[in-house]
Amino acid sequence: MKYRNASERLPAQLLEELQRHAPGELLYVPAKQRQPWGEGTGAKTFYARRNAEIRGQYRGGQADIPALCEAYCLSDETVRKIIYQKGETTMAENEFDYCKYYWQNDLVRIRRSRPDDWKFHDKQIDSENRFFTDGTQELPSDEILWRETWENYIQANRDSDKWICLAVETLDGEYVGGGNIHGIDERNGTFGIFIGAKEERYALAAARLMLDYCFNERRLHKCSDYFYEGDTVFMPVFEKLGFKREGVKRQEVFHKGRYWDEIHYGLLAEEFNAGK
């Protein structure tokens, strides 16, 4: 801030009053109405234009998040906040209109998985949950291997209608989980699903969308999945979805020095629709 001599700016009478009340003191004289941040310097216009460019490039497919981070010298977190910031985007900027979108409900929205989702997918290293997901104990890994494995997995199934890889987001665009629809057998009308989310309510909401698609759009008949005894994360979700316990394959997998039972569940289309 530039300081000026009061004797050069104020009438003599006002100057005398100030000298009587605050002689030799440094005073700040506030404006009657403060300008909004960035209005005077043009910063607000600059950042609004930059953010619109970032959203436009991302939604238009010209650049992914890592490329935008490098091009604009921003962190991954900052770019994501710009892309998904609520209330900033408009339909004029090619924002999707989700008002009649099939793959959403009042809690979550589902999209196809992207290669850059690896950062969310493997953020939590929970070996026990990985065992209950895959039935095996993973070998030591690192960030590079996680990324390559995930990107290869998504690329291999990008155009598949038999193994559909999905990401789960809140309606504000926050990534909260993922899953897939797998093993689709059109002839016999069977399939399986996997769903994992940071909160059970997101997993349930997303799974119901996936099941509704399979039963009532693909006309499939039965969803089958299996779990391992002791699973307290995935099995309770499927039970709340209405899956019925159908049988046990005793001592099917080896883990932590002993054999574990494999528990099979199933859900029929008529059971799902009756519980909707």
Question: pLDDT for 66-114, tens place per residue?
Answer: 889 989 999 888 888 788 765 444 444 456 677 788 999 999 999 999 9
Q: What's the confidence (pLDDT) of residue 117? A: 86
All domains of the chain, ordered by start, with CATH? 99-274 (3.40.630.30)
Q: By C-alpha distance, which of 240, 175, 185, 243 is closest to 214? A: 185
Query: pTM for this structure?
Result: 0.64
Per-residue confidence (pLDDT) for residue 47, from 0 to 100: 83
pLDDT at 54: 87
For residue 39, report the phi and psi dihedrals to the nearest 5 degrees: -70, -40
User: At 102, is the secondary structure helix, strand, or coil?
Assistant: coil
Length of the chain: 276
Q: 47 is written with which tokens?
A: 């950042």
Separation CA 243–CA 234 (nearest Å): 12
Q: How confident is the model at residue 31, as a pLDDT? A: 64
Q: Which residues of the chain have pLDDT under 70?
A: 1-3, 27-41, 60, 85-96, 121-126
- The beta-strand segments (E) located in the chain are 108-112, 164-170, 175-185, 190-197, 222-228, 244-255, 258-268
CA 266, 269, 275, 276 torsion-angle sign: positive
| 221-233 per-residue burial string, b: 16 or more CB within 10 A, e: under 16 | ebbebbbbbebee
Look at residue 59 in the predicted model and tell me its pLDDT.
72
| Phi, psi of 84, deg, nearest 5 | -105, 10
pLDDT of residue 91: 43
In 3D space, the residue among 175, 201, 209, 208 whose CA is nearest the CA of residue 103 turns out to be 209
